[in-house]
Every structure is written in C-alpha cells, then in structure tokens.
C-alpha cells in the first residue's frame, strides 16, 4: 500500500527586518519565517516525480525553531499512514492530531501546538489535492456537502451551528456551483493591498505606493495604525488624498489598544471613511470587540490571530465583528477554516482573508475561492489581502493582476517552496544568514520558468 | 555585578500512565511531565550554596520536548541580566518576555510560548524570594500595594479594572495583613482532594479513598465526570454514600461537553448537591460557560486551561463563572496570576487553585496564601486542590495535614526538584524510561531528610 514515509521539517527565515517590510505597531522588526514541512510518500505523480505534501506554519522570526520542533513532534501520528486512508478521510486525519490526549495539554487548540497541527493538516490537504491533480480550491469545491461536513470537528459548535444545519446550507450552495467556478476561473477573486501602508514607510513612499496600488486596480488599501494618533491622522490624510474618494481605506492596529483607547482613537479616524478597523485590541477579547463595535461607526474586524473555531463562533455570537479575517496557518488547517467559513455563512459575516507573510497568500486564496464556489457563494463583497513580497520563493506563486487573484491551476495548496530558497534561508546556517551585509530577500529570479508556473499561465481563461 | 549566568532546561517525565493516576474524560493516559529550568547565577546564598531560581512548565507527556525548547528559546532575554535589576523589578522582567515582538506571534500570550514565559517568570520569582530568604507567599505579601500593581501588565484590562482601582483595593487589604499572616502560619490554608476521583478507579477504590479523605480532614472531594452519564450517576452515588451529607462533592468534566450536552448531563447530576462543575466545555468558550451557568443550579467554574488574564477578565465580565481555578504554570507566571487575583477580588469571585500534576501544588499554594494575606483577605470560602503524588521529587514538598496546606517556610516558590529525580526521569534517556517493566513512580524515599524539608518541619508554628 502507498504510505507517508517521512515528515521532514526545516527552519526557514527571511531577513525582512533589514528592510522594514511588515512593520506595524506591535511588530516593529519581523523576519518573516516558516516552519516548513514535507510529507514524503513512496508514490509518484503521473510525471514520475515523487509525490509529496507541503505545508508551513508562519512566524515572524525568533521562535521559528520552537514552531519547527512542534511540527516534528507530530511525526508519529503521520509516518506510516496509508495514503488512501489519509486522502480519503481528511476529517479523521485532522482529528487524530487535535485529539492527542497528551499534546492537547499544550493548547488546547491554540498557539504553537495548534499552528503545528494546522501546518501538518494543510500539508495533507496539499498531498491529497496533488494526488487528485487539482488545485486545492477546486479539490474542496468538488467535495460533496456531506464530505465537507465530515471534515469539520463539530465539538464546541453546536450552540451556534450543527452539522445538520451546515449540511442544509451546503446543499443550498450547491446550486450554481458550476457557474461560480467558471466565473472565478475567468475573473479571479478581488484582492486588497497592504503593501503601501507599513508604519516604517515615509509619507512620500506611502503616497507613491497608494497611487501605484490604485493604478494597479486595487479598490481597498490597508494602512497600519496605532503607534501615534498624530501620525495616523496625517498618514490617512496622505493616503486619502492619494487615492481619491472612491477607493476604500482600511486600518489595522495589530492589537494595540484597550477599549477606551480604541474608541477615542477611532473617533478621530472615522472621518476618513474607513472600510474597517482590524485588530483594535487583544484577539482574545470578544467582549472588548463588542464594546468597541457598539461605540464607533468604523466596522470592526479581527481574525488573523484568532486561535480556533470556538473563538470565531463567539465573535459572531456576541455580534463583536462586522467582518472577519481568516488565516491559512493560524488555526488547525483547512478543516478548521471550513468550520469558520460555515459559521461566517450562518451569521452572514463577510470574510477578508489575512495574507502577506511567507506563503500565506499562496495558501489562503484556495480557501476564499472554495468558499465562493461551494459555501458562501459571495465574492464581490469581500477581498483577499495581498502583499507583494517573497512570492518568488514558491514553486506556484500567486498571480495577482488588475487587483484580483487569478484562480490557481497547479495542483496543491501552494506552500511548496523552491529547494534553493529553503536551503539558502535555512536558519541559522543558510547563506542568507551568513552574509555580513544585507542580502537580497529574493535570490530566485523574478519570473522563473517553472512547471507549476507555466501550467498556471496557460490554463486560466 | 551579580548576574544570571545560564538558563538550563531539562525534559523530565514521570511514567504515571502506567498506574492510571490522573485519568479523566479528556486525558486517559497522562505521563505527568515538567519542562524544568534552572536560572543559574554567580551569587551564593548565606550558606555558601550557589544561588539559583527554579521553575517548570507542566505538561502531561508528549510535547514536553516542545515545551522545553520553548523555555530554552527565552535564554537570550535572561542570561547576563543584573540580579539586582531582575529582583528589584519583576514587572519589567516579565514584560520583557511577553513583549518580544517576534515571539509574540506564537501566541500571543497563550499556549506553549506563554507557558514557557510563565515558567521563566516563576523561576525569577523563585530566585528573588530565595535571595530575600523568604517563601514566595511571604515575599509577595510583604510587597507594598504599589509594588504589586507595578508587577501587573495592565494592557487589555482597563475596561474591567484599572491600576488605580487595584491600588485602592490593595490599600484596603493592607489593613489586617499581619493578623492574617499569623493566622495562616498557625492554621494553614484549606485543601480539597481529587485523589479519590480519577475515572480509571473502581467503585470500591473510589469509596475507600473517599472515606479516607474525610478521615484525613478534607471537606471537599472532586470527582472526574463526563465519559458516561450512567457511570457518573453511579459513582456520585457511591461517593455521596461514602462521605455523608456534610462533605462537599465537586465534579470536573475536563472540557468534555457542548452547551446542550452540559445542561442535560448536569440536570441529571445536580441532585447530588454539587459544590461546582469544573471545565464543563472548552476553556475558550466564555459565552458557553455563561449559557450553561444560566441553565443549571450547579455553580460553574473553569481556569486551569484559561490562557491569560484577558480570558479570565471576560469570564468575570460575562458572569460566566461562580468561581475560578488558577494554575501556577499555565499563564505568564506570578505577575499574570496577580492580575487574575485582583480581577477576582474586584468581581468577588472565590478562587480554588488548580494543582496536582508535577509541582503544581508546591507552586500554587504560594499564590493562594499571598492572596489571603494581601489581596482578597479571604480563605475559608475557598480551597487549594491537592493530589497526593510526586511530591517527594521536590526539595520542599507541600505539607498537607488535617485537610489543610501548611504555610511553607523554606525560601522560594517550591519548584526545585531533587537532582536525582531530574536525572532519573530525564526523557528519553533516564533510567525510569529504560526499565523494561514499570518502575515505581517515586524512587526517592518518602521522607528524605533534606535541608529544605527539615527547615519546613521545624519552623511552622
């Protein structure tokens, strides 16, 4: 029988702090990093390549070693499994990891251990969709309603959503699935950009990047806020002048405020006609989000640090958010994100997936697209975050054109990195970390003619 | 200047699963473990011993390696620090760890990384109180109200409790501090026991252990529930018959239920006149606890897995609990537990500290006792959990007599283990893990004549 033969891990880090990319009020100097893993198998693809599954947990530097050890700690649950069993029942596969009675103590279902589970679960979905020869979004959208329901761990959800209700919602959503798939393949999925808005950038750079973003087709631009109210007012003025009245501006405080501080700050900023405030306070604080939402006119959101489906459920039950972010690498993988997408449909909450980082755009686009085709049926009232860096380290990088994500066509979930990128950025011994002076963050040529890339270029309508 | 010279870590595990000690509905086979650490210094005690600080994160087996690596990942924040700076400002010390902008991504303030921070913070408090020659409870109780307030990270708390309110509460509590200290030293602090109630035990063993517990002076006994309603009804009947009407019975479901399931189950069990239901559902689910509490007469509690002060705050704001547990090794150390104790006083919520495990009794007793002397001023309406195993691995084991914890007199927080216990139970290479057949869980003689122990015996009134 074909089996998973090994779980390989690598500690991969990019020295992004040298350029202030990704700087915000809570994260002044991130080195975008990945606890990267490969599920090796003894099967081959139709092309004769070794079949494998790729996944990662995203971190921002220190601690990526801890995250990598946590991924490796799951090997005993995975190595030796029958590929047919894994690919045929990814619900049972994911629950095997979250239900480990001893590992559960380290969360439960939160933090380092849960992100490790998410990385391994995502790698298994990558493996299953590669084996099926489909991009993950398509693999998911082709599952039956009952198969999707079987992927979800329903524990702790039944006071808001039951498996039976979810099945009924998914059966409703099955109507029009083929037309939505064709629409997606033709038109892509809306993107929004955070690239102009990092706190470390000058006003001139902010204005220039905002104008470029509008010219590139973006209809929403997000700025980081929360370090200085005076600076935020000035920077939002700069941005609003640069983009005109019709482009939406969102802001992100990265957990900076208490309730009263958030309300005071937002009262000064709401005149800029904001699309949303993201992470105004602790991601754990459901009641604080509800209190802030009740006091300001800016739509409230959170989610990139929301640890699991139980917290998302409460954010919706408490009417604490107007919209949410999901993140491909924070919760327990595809399965738990399916639960969150089902909750969002139940509560009519639009989803604006969090991305950027390393591989987050590549992965999360699949979830948003599967949601459009098979779950919510909506796309034009939402958008996937896009940040334009580090994509060239990936074998199947995202393609964003005219402010929209093009639907991926290469099989898998998108987390596979070039071997050279992995080796060059291995921490602490890779060449990128040996250089006495800053090295370019993207050593791979910008447009490498790779098989996945060429396939993607050719197949989208 | 005197400095912290090294942070040493050890992966220590006890093969408790061989005896079904600690079995419950979610944790059928725990191997009680510690990610153990020592903060070495270049200073010596008045006795000429090397001065060090001891701490641990408690886990239940697999994943203790991950937890140990997470503790080690904090070394760069600690090694080389001036001892006077550390011991003189433990608030700044703790915030240095929680505010690491890159490590924060791995939580924030939850799971593996937060427990690691808690272990290092507790080791620093152990070090500071050893240096002062005081048991931690006394060291804490001797701090001024302003010093206690300065230990707390007030971020995310101000919608429920401000530093100014806390200062006023502590100044109120300063009245009578000396009398309470004397009372505590004479009478100790109430304990309750969970030893009789593990799910793996037979009815006969349960009844025998219940009768012994009552004879030993316990007034509250806790039983694990949640695997089978029929079994729970029968076991509660056995326990109630064994203890009579005057001893309180509490139950612990270890996160087993959804809301409706909890309400249905508790409706069948409330006739046993229960002191509380602990962890009826996910520790993350504040709204579910509130819904359960509204539907049943059994007092609702949680806390041993509550990840940080922000979650405790919401449990109280939402009136989701009648009482809480705190745990010495789950949150960010002494500092964050001080925040929780202050919140509990503000909301008039009694605290029943979680213990058992490895070293949890030894550590958490200090927090409860400091709370009695300097914060809540209350003790007879609450009790510290006690489980009678693994104490002899500790240099200063707890002493529970007549159903009460005696106030420790040895300096420090209590987490220091015998070197032989550490070496014997080092995983995976220690002798306890090499034995072909089960080995006794307590290789150290039950009453070892050690300096710490002898000191404790001699000094309590």
Quick check: A356 contacting B, CB < 8 Å? Answer: no
Are the Cβ atoms of A113 and B307 closer than 8 angstroms? no
Q: Does B98 touch chain A (CB under 8 A)?
A: no
pLDDT at A338 over 80: yes
Inter-chain CB proximity A310 and B102 less than 8 Å: no
The verdict on B333 touching A (C-beta cutoff 8 Å) is no
Q: Do residues A31 and A14 make contact, with C-beta atoms less than 8 angstroms apart?
A: yes
Residue B186 has pLDDT above 90, yes or no: yes
pLDDT per residue as tens digits for the range B306-345: 999 999 999 999 999 999 999 999 999 999 999 999 999 9
A331 Cβ under 8 Å from any chain B Cβ: no
List, in order of start, the domains of chain B with CATH numbers.
177-405 (3.20.20.120)
User: Is A346 known to be catalytic?
Assistant: no
* Mutant choice from A11, A28, A62 vs B, greatest count of B C-beta within 10 A: A62
Q: What is the dihedral of CA B417, B418, B420, B423, to 10 degrees?
A: 20
Tell me the three state secondary structure of residue A364.
helix
Closest-CA residue of chain A to B32: A102
Cβ contact (<8 Å) for B102 and A29?
yes
Residue identified by tokens 């270049």 is B42
Reply yes or no on whether the pLDDT at B370 is more than 80. Answer: yes
| Centroid of chain to Cα B414 | 11
* Cβ atoms A63, B106 nearer than 8 A: yes
Closest Cβ opposite residue B70 in set A112, A114, A317: A112
Q: How many whole angstroms separate alpha carbon A331 and alpha carbon A327?
A: 7
Q: Do A108 and B258 touch (CB under 8 A)?
A: no
Average pLDDT on A78-107 reads 97
Active site residue A354: yes
Q: How many CB atoms lie within 10 A of CB B175?
A: 10
What pLDDT score does A20 carry? 59
Sign of CA dihedral A391, A392, A394, A397: positive
User: What pLDDT does A25 receive?
Assistant: 66
Average confidence (pLDDT) over A362-370: 98
Contact at CB, A159 and B260, closer than 8 angstroms: yes
> What's the ipTM?
0.93
Per-residue pLDDT of B111-145, as tens digits, reads 999 999 999 999 999 999 999 999 999 999 999 99
Model confidence over B393-432: pLDDT tens digits? 999 999 999 999 999 999 999 999 999 999 999 999 999 9
Mutate to test the interface with B, among A116, A159, A313 (most CBs of B within 10 A): A159
Catalytic residue among A114, A224, A391, A453: A224
CA distance A135 to A141: 10
pLDDT per residue as tens digits for the range B29-87: 889 999 999 999 999 998 899 999 999 999 999 999 999 999 999 999 999 999 999 99
pLDDT tops 50 at residue B381: yes
Q: What is the pLDDT of residue A432?
A: 95
Cα distance from N-terminal residue to C-terminal residue, chain B: 38
Q: What distance in Å separates the CA atoms of residue B73 and residue B112, rounded to the nearest whole number?
A: 11
Mean pLDDT, chain A, rounded, equals: 93
**Any CB–CB contact under 8 A between B194 and chain A?**
no
B65:A69 CB<8 A: yes
Kindly tell me if the per-residue pLDDT of B448 is higher than 50: no
Q: Which residue of A has its CA nearest to B107?
A: A111
Backbone CA torsion sign across B151, B156, B159, B160: negative
Is 90 exceeded by the pLDDT of residue B389?
no
Please write down the long-range contacts of B238-241, taking CB distance under 8 Å and 24 or more positions apart.
B238/B203, B238/B206, B238/B207, B238/B210, B239/B196, B239/B197, B239/B206, B239/B207, B239/B210, B240/B272, B240/B273, B241/B207
The answer on pLDDT for A267 being more than 80 is yes
The C-alpha of B16 sits at a distance from chain A's nearest C-alpha, in angstroms, of 12
Q: Which residue of A has its CA nearest to B69?
A: A66
- pLDDT score for A441: 44
* pLDDT recorded at residue B452: 30
Q: What pLDDT digit, counting tens, does each position of A409-458 carry?
A: 999 999 999 999 999 999 999 999 996 654 444 433 333 333 333 222 22
pLDDT single digits (tens) A291-303: 999 999 999 999 9
The model's pLDDT over A130-157, given as tens digits with 9 standing for 90+, comes to: 999 999 999 999 999 999 999 999 999 9
Neighbour-count burial of A175, counting CB atoms closer than 10 A to its CB (0-12 exposed, 13-18 middle, 19+ buried): exposed
Q: What is the pLDDT of residue A264?
A: 98
B8, with CB counted inside 10 A (0-12, 13-18, 19+), is middle
Q: Which of residues 396-435 of B touch A (CB under 8 A)?
A: none
Task: Give tens-digit pLDDT for A148-183.
Answer: 999 999 999 999 999 999 999 999 999 999 999 999
**3-state SS class at A276:** strand
Region B364-374 average pLDDT: 98
With a pLDDT cut of 90, the percent of chain A lying above it is: 88
Residue B445 has pLDDT above 50, yes or no: no
Q: Give the pLDDT confidence of A181-233 residue by residue, as tens digits.
A: 999 999 999 999 998 988 888 999 999 999 999 999 999 999 999 999 999 99
Contact A283 B108 (CB under 8 A): yes
Question: B31 CB near a chain A CB, below 8 Å?
Answer: yes
For residues B127 and B399, is the Cβ–Cβ distance under 8 A?
no
CB atoms within 10 A of CB B60: 24
Which pLDDT tens digit goes with each residue over B198-237? 888 899 999 999 999 999 999 999 999 999 999 999 999 9
Residues of B identified as active-site: 224, 354
Q: Which of residues 226-255 of A touch B (CB under 8 A)?
A: 255
pLDDT at B96: 97
Closest CA to A283 of A313, A263, A251, A311: A311
Residues in chain A with CB shorter than 8 Å from the CB of B285 are 156, 310, 313-314
């Amino acid at each position: 029988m074909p089996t998973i033969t090994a779980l390989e891990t690598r500690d991969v880090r990019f020295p992004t702090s040298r350029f202030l990319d990704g700087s915000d009020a809570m994260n002044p100097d991130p080195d975008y990093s990945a606890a990267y893993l490969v599920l090796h198998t003894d099967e081959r693809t139709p092309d004769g390549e070794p079949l494998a599954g790729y996944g990662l947990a995203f971190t921002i530097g220190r601690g990526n070693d801890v995250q990598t050890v946590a991924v490796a700690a799951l090997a005993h649950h995975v190595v030796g499994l029958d590929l047919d069993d894994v690919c045929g029942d990814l619900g049972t596969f994911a629950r095997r990891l979250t239900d480990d009675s001893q590992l559960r103590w380290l969360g439960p279902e939160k933090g380092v251990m849960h992100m490790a589970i998410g990385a391994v679960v995502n790698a298994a979905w990558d493996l299953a969709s590669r084996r099926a020869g489909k991009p993950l979004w398509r693999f998911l959208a082709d599952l039956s309603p009952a198969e999707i329901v079987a992927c979800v761990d329903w524990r702790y959800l039944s006071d808001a959503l039951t498996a039976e209700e979810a099945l009924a919602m998914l059966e409703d959503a099955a109507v029009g699935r083929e037309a939505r798939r064709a629409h997606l393949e033709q038109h892509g999925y809306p993107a929004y950009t955070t690239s102009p808005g990092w706190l470390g950038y000058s006003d001139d750079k902010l204005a220039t990047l905002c104008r470029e973003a509008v010219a590139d087709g973006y209809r929403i631009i997000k700025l980081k806020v929360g370090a200085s109210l005076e600076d935020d007012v000035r920077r939002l003025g700069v941005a609003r002048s640069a983009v005109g009245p019709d482009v939406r501006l969102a802001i992100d405080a990265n957990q900076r405020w208490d309730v009263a501080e958030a309300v005071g700050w937002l009262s000064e900023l709401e005149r800029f006609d904001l699309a949303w405030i993201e992470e105004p306070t602790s991601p754990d604080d459901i009641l604080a989000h509800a209190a802030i939402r009740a006091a300001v006119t800016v739509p409230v959101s959170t989610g990139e640090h929301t640890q699991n489906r139980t917290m998302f459920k409460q954010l919706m039950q408490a009417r604490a958010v107007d919209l949410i972010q999901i993140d491909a690498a924070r919760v327990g993988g595809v399965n738990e994100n399916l639960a969150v997408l089902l909750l969002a449909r139940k509560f009519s909450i639009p989803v604006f997936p969090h991305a950027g980082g390393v591989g987050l755009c590549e992965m999360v686009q699949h979830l948003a697209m599967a949601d459009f085709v098979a779950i919510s049926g909506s796309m034009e009232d939402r958008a996937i975050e896009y940040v334009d860096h580090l994509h060239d380290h990936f074998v199947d990088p995202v393609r964003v054109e005219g402010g929209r994500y093009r639907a991926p066509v290469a099989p898998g979930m998108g987390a596979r990195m070039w071997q050279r990128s992995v080796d060059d950025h291995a921490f602490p011994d890779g060449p990128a970390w040996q250089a006495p002076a800053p090295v370019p963050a993207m050593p791979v040529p910008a447009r490498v003619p790779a098989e996945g890339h060429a396939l993607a270029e050719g197949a989208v309508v």
